[in-house]
Amino acid sequence: MMFKRSFSTAIAIMAVLFSVAQKRVSISPDFPQRGQTVTITFDPRIPADDPANAIPANTSSVTVAFSTSNFYELPYRLELQKQGDVWTSSFVLQRYASFASFTLESGELTEKPADGHYEIYVYDQKKKPVENSLLYRGYSLGQQMGKSPGLVPAQEAMYRKELQLYPKNYEARLRLLASQMNAATGKTKERYRQRALKVISDRFYAAPTVSGNLDKVTMGFYIIGEPQRIDSIRKVVVEKYAGSELAWDYYGMQIEKEKDTTAKIALFEKALENETAANGKGFVDMHQHLFYLYAAKKDSVKALYHLRFMTKQKWTPHTPVMYKNITRTFLDNDLALDTAARYAAYTLSIADSFPVGLIRYWPETGYVYPYTTDSMRHETYSKARGNLLSMLALINYKRGRINEAKQDMDAALIYSIDKETADNANWFFTETAQTDRILQLKEARLQLMAKEVAKKRIRRPAPSLKYMVTLDGKPVDTNALRNKVILIDFWATWCGPCMEEMPYIQKLYDLYKQNPDVVFMIVNSGSRNTLTDAQKWFGNKKYSFPVYFNTDPDVGSKTKFNFNTIPATFIIDRDGFIEFNNIGFEGPDIETKLKLQIDMALQN
């Protein structure tokens, strides 16, 4: 009897302890290691730190939104699954995993701890954080703390902790020195700079002819804000370590800057006289350049000669794209069309090997593949097939094989009507006088884009535009913007993709400038630009759309427009809600895409 009472008491105590130990958001195991399964659990029954932003127990969805993460195999937004009263998700930590931070989202609610974001550290078998985990945590603080005055000291503390565990961590040393350098002035600033340059120099001379090491050196110059020194370090490799694979590779980069094509070819050919079986890797890019240069000159013999060196290299995830580019080069230059057909057919046979998403590479880890879904892979492979079959159709047409060309083009359009495939088809239908097919293709493309645009429609309150000023420095009349559909495009004078986008913005402006319900605001974001820069921009004479300047340094923050890349284009509806956002330049399709977005906002 005594035993039963003691056992019952022990169970009761354990239950109380378990209840106390429970957390609203828990991560298990406590010290996760690479290769282990990590489980995130959200229990909405437990009180939240911030009741105002607490996700309710009756919510229909909960999402892990990673603010920073090197768990590349996971999506940036990970849906939790409901199991009874709690929400959970599990995943395996990959060989390179170090750190991640996240918040929880449900509808408009974002839940996070009072002191930042939820965090996942990765540990070794001795329960010590793996190398870079504290370094990456320092990166994450920018997202967690925003522009808090305590951000820089907190980041420096993380870099120091990383160095306590891993004194040789090159990047942590540089990040700390760069932070100290940026906060200092005068001689103190220069002392930190010289120390940073010494760290980079030591790294360079540790392995001056190893490509992966030189990548770290290049990164170091970016960290301290001196990327202009990269060319000088490459020059040192070329001159001091002449004969190494890396020296020849860098020498090829120097030749590529030559603007005169004849001189460039002569320099490449002269350099190739030094190629041997032992140093051949250093000359691969030279052969590649010569292939494209000779193809443009319609010299099939020399183009095919240099092609042999390109195609005998070790397979990488990007090899299929290289074969596709080779096929395109032959086609565009009407060169070696029989060979082009063979390359098209071979590349078509490996269409399921085309890279999906951003594939990273580090010498320490090899290739690191990103998170992809079945639909993403299907879309990539179908697009590759459409591209290649449509190219094969054009090649066969130019070879006089008209029936084969028609069959190839019909098959291509079953797989994809992306822009490249559609452009190939449009050329073919024009050459073969199939006007009806051109109109059908145009309509199909428009319908497809409309569906894609509609799926990406959002509705969140737009921030105030009171911080925008005209080029005369006068504040924008926000009252005049009420009940208008607004296209607002953020750009900067130094941004190449922004400049590429401008002609398409001009075409759109010409289309809507007589519509009183549509307003265009082409806004210099202020990022490394001043109002004077915006006033002196050459585009003010070239384009007729209205240009403005942004005076709010936080305009791209998460609480406002939420962008960190330009160009960034937003469509705001009559009620003051952002309906669409477009980050980065997407090519010529942006004109049609933005038109569809404006029209949808007008119909709202």
Same domain, 440 and 467: no
pLDDT tens for each residue of 402-455: 999 999 999 999 999 999 999 999 999 999 999 999 999 999 999 999 999 999
- Res 107: pLDDT: 85
Given CA atoms 169, 172, 178, 179 in this order, what sign does their dihedral have?
negative
- Please report, as a single letter, which amino acid is at residue 3: F
Average pLDDT over residues 114-131: 96
Spatial distance between the Cα atoms of 522 and 366, rounded to a whole number of angstroms: 42
What average pLDDT does range 335-348 have in this prediction?
A: 97
Beta strands 518-524 and 485-491, pairing class: parallel
Look at the chain and report how many structural domains it folds into: 4
Q: What is the pLDDT of residues 221-278, one digit of tens each?
A: 999 999 999 999 999 999 999 999 999 999 999 999 999 999 999 999 999 999 998 8
Other CB atoms closer than 10 Å to residue 130's CB: what's the count? 19
Residue 250: inside a domain, yes or no? no
Q: How far is C-alpha 275 from the geometric centre of its chain's CA atoms? A: 36
Looking at 209, 238, 267, the residue that finishes a domain is: 238
The DSSP call for residue 27 is E
Q: How many CA atoms lie within 13 A of 213 on its CB side?
A: 15
pLDDT at 53: 85
- Indicate whether 34 pLDDT > 70: yes
Q: 534 and 592 share a domain?
A: yes
Confidence category of residue 13, pLDDT binned at 50, 70, 90: very low
Pairwise CA distance, residues 536 & 515, whole Å = 29
- Residue 278 or 42, more confident: 42
Long-range CB contact pairs, 433-439, < 8 A, 24+: none
Examine the domain organization and report whether 448 and 465 are in the same domain.
no
> Concatenated DSSP letters for 339-391?
HHHHHHHHHHHTGGGS--S--EEETTTEEEPPP--HHHHHHHHHHHHHHHHHH
Confidence bin at 5 (pLDDT 50/70/90): very low
Please report the pLDDT score of residue 544 as a whole number. Answer: 96
Calpha distance 209→242 (Å, rounded): 10
Cα–Cα distance measured from residue 423 to residue 590, given in angstroms and rounded to the nearest whole number? 15
CATH of the domain at 409: 1.25.40
Q: Is the pLDDT of residue 9 over 60?
A: no
Evaluate whether residue 274 is within a structural domain. Answer: no
User: Do the domain assignments include residue 71?
Assistant: yes
Nearest Cα residue to 110 out of 142, 77, 88: 77
- CA separation, residue 69 to residues 19, 159, 261, 356 (Å): 30, 17, 44, 19
pLDDT at residue 16 in the model: 34
Given a cut of 90, whether residue 554 has pLDDT beyond it is no
Examine the pLDDT at 20 and tell me if it is beyond 70.
Answer: no
DSSP classification of residue 565? S
pLDDT at 541: 94
For residue 161, tell me if it sits in a domain: no
Per-residue pLDDT band at 136 (split at 50, 70, 90):
very high
Q: Is residue 197's pLDDT more than 80?
A: yes
- The whole-angstrom separation of Cα 582 and Cα 516 is 23
Residue 268 lies in a domain: no
- Stretch 527-540: mean pLDDT, rounded? 91
Q: For residue 91, how many other CB atoms are within 10 A of its CB?
A: 15
In 25-82, alpha helices (H):
none
Q: What is the reported pLDDT for 557?
A: 79
| Mean model confidence pLDDT for the chain | 93
C-alpha span between 296 and 153 (Å, rounded):
55
User: What is the C-alpha separation between 13 and 295, in angstroms, rounded?
Assistant: 80
| Nearest Cα to Cα of residue 68 among 150, 158, 5 | 158
What pLDDT, on a 0 to 100 scale, did the predictor assign at position 430?
97
- Given a contact cutoff of 8 angstroms between Cβ atoms, the answer to whether 41 and 25 are in contact is yes
In a domain, residue 416? The reply is yes
Residue 318 shares a structural domain with residue 395:
yes
406 within some domain: yes
The parent domain of residue 73 ranges over: 2-138
Helix axes 284-296, 261-271, angle to 10 degrees: 140
Answer yes or no: do 349 and 323 share one domain.
Answer: yes
Is residue 220's pLDDT more than 60?
A: yes
Last residue within a domain, chosen from 206, 238, 270: 238
Burial 291-310 (b: 16+ CB within 10 A, else e): bbbbbeeebbebbbebbebb
255 and 270 Cβ atoms separated by less than 8 Å: no
87: left (phi over 0), alpha (psi -120 to 50) or beta: beta
DSSP secondary-structure letter at 74? S
In a shared domain, residues 439 and 466: no
Residues 423 and 467 in one domain: no
d(CA 574, CA 604) in angstroms, rounded, equals: 8
Share of the chain above pLDDT 90, in %: 88
Residue 97 is classified by DSSP as -
Is 467 in the same domain as 449? no
CATH number for 80: 2.60.40.10
Asked if 343 and 473 sit in the same domain, the reply is no
CATH number, domain of 524, equals: 3.40.30.10
Q: Work out the pLDDT band at 143, boundaries 50, 70, 90.
A: confident
- 62 in any annotated domain: yes
Q: Is the pLDDT assigned to residue 593 strictly greater than 70? A: yes
Give the mean model confidence (pLDDT) for residues 550-555: 90
407 and 369 in one domain?
yes
Domain boundary among 238, 255, 281: 238
Nearest alpha-carbon partner for 330 in 364, 367, 303, 360: 303
Token pair of 254 as six digits: 């120097």
Supply φ then ψ for residue 28, to 5 degrees.
-130, 150
pTM (2 decimals)?
0.84
Which of 145-154, 181-190, 199-208, 485-494 is predicted with the least confidence, judged by mean pLDDT?
145-154
Report pLDDT for 15. 39
Residues 549, 467 within the same domain: yes
Task: Say if residue 15 is in the same domain as residue 49.
Answer: yes
SS3 42: strand
Model pLDDT, residue 14:
42
Question: Per-residue pLDDT for 458 more than 80?
Answer: yes
